[in-house]
Amino acid sequence: MKVLVTGTAGFIGFSIAKRLLERGDDVVGIDNHNDYYDVSLKEARVKCLIPYSNYRHLRMDIADDKAIERVFIDHRFDCVVHLAAQAGVRYSIDHPSFYIQSNIVGFANILESSRKTNISHLIYASSSSVYGANIKQPFSIHDNVDHPLNLYAASKKSNELMAHAYSHLFKIPTTGLRFFTVYGPWGRPDMALFKFATSIKKGEAIEVYNNGHHSRDFTYIDDVVEAIVRILNRPARPNDNWDGLTLDPASSLAPWRIYNIGNNKPTPLLDYISALEMALGCKAKLTFLPQQAGDMISTVADICESFDDFDYAPKVSISEGIQRFVSWFNEYYDF
């Protein structure tokens, strides 16, 4: 297939692009290489993709509607994997305009160009953050998610609604994936594992919010990539049993679906840190802090539908995933 992957200088975008290239797909990747975190890491990811003869990299902003439209017209993609976005929960509190431009305006441009060029399947990144104030766990795709706790979460919920409108009006198959705390080699420096490893290696204290009483459904990158690959060839279809009286939030009479992509095994943050200490062979210095505005206390994914529909079953344990990350981390930063 010919696939557009947005955000290929980013963690998940880079990882799925590499997998698609290895299996022989033609991939066009776009990214604006912004400085939300270390640009050199983004450049290093792209450097790994450039040698593939079936890869082309374009540096552009998805908020630029004319540029995005031209890319779609020039390349005539079969499918789109849309992963470009302004990430970060806490960053959204002080920089809301970045999220509106990238996550709302940018996604609208992707949808509109997908419509104009008859894309056969659009997969896009949502987030576990959409569950917001929900306290019933595990989080189910059949639950209402109308109470986001931050603008990042609100932007991802908005993406799901925007996609539904396009699926309904123009019959574009769209599949939204709610990712649960993705980690692994080549990960994001603003995420806990990366920040903790850096601080421990430097002998600095790590900041542990909510006094360590957080838990997360940490999901290894290879499991996420496997899910995307499996879904890519299975465009969303209408749910013929959908009922407007019961209003199931996970499907529709339109070709639109939502899935959780998680590990289904929540890990307390302190256990996560312990696994990192073991992999690094170093003890961490902990500074306990109150809960931060916009943070969720715990997340855990109900992945029943992901398993039923495309046999998604995460395989990498926390200890193994962290060890793989540390091996990459030590080599990349020459520790």
Q: What does the DSSP assignment read for 86-122?
A: ---HHHHHH-HHHHIIIIIIHHHHHHHHHHHTT-SEE
> Angle between the 192-202 and 269-280 helix axes, to the nearest 10 degrees?
50
As for how many domains the chain has, the answer is 1
Assigned domain for 106 exists: yes
Please report whether residue 78 resides in a domain: yes
Asked whether residue 112 is domain-assigned, the answer is: yes
| Spatial separation of the C-alpha atoms in residues 316 and 321, rounded to whole Å | 6
* Residue 59's CATH number: 3.40.50.720
Q: Which one is catalytic: 152, 220, 259, 312?
A: 152
126 in any annotated domain: yes
- Inside any domain, residue 73: yes
Cβ atoms of 247 and 211 closer than 8 Å? no
How does pLDDT run along the chain (335 residues), one tens digit per residue?
999 999 999 999 999 999 999 999 999 999 999 999 999 999 999 999 999 999 999 999 999 999 999 999 999 999 999 999 999 888 898 899 999 999 999 999 999 999 999 999 999 999 999 999 999 999 999 999 999 999 999 999 999 999 999 999 999 999 999 999 999 999 999 999 999 999 999 999 999 988 888 899 999 999 999 999 999 999 999 999 999 999 999 999 999 999 999 999 999 999 999 999 999 999 999 999 988 877 888 999 999 999 999 999 999 999 999 999 999 999 999 87
Which uninterrupted H or E stretch holds 227? helix 221-232
In a domain, 279, yes or no: no
Paired residues of 216 in beta bridges: 267
Per the annotation, the verdict on 183 as an active-site residue is no
Other Cβ atoms closer than 10 A to 202: 9
Query: What span, in angstroms and rounded, lies between the C-alpha atoms of 256 and 279?
Result: 41
| pTM > 0.85 | yes
- The residues near 238 (Cβ < 8 Å, ≥ 6 apart) are 252, 253, 254, 255
What dihedral angle (degrees, nearest 10) is formed by the CA atoms of 97, 83, 12, 212?
40
Cα gap 79→61, rounded to integer Å: 19
Query: Could you tell me if residue 10 is inside a domain?
Result: yes
In whole angstroms, what is the distance from residue 145 CA to residue 249 CA? Answer: 8
Which of 133-164 are b and which e, b meaning 16 or more Cβ less than 10 Å from the residue's Cβ? ebeebbbbbebebeebbbbbbbbbbbbbebbb
Q: Which structural domain range is residue 96 located in?
A: 2-183+219-263+299-315
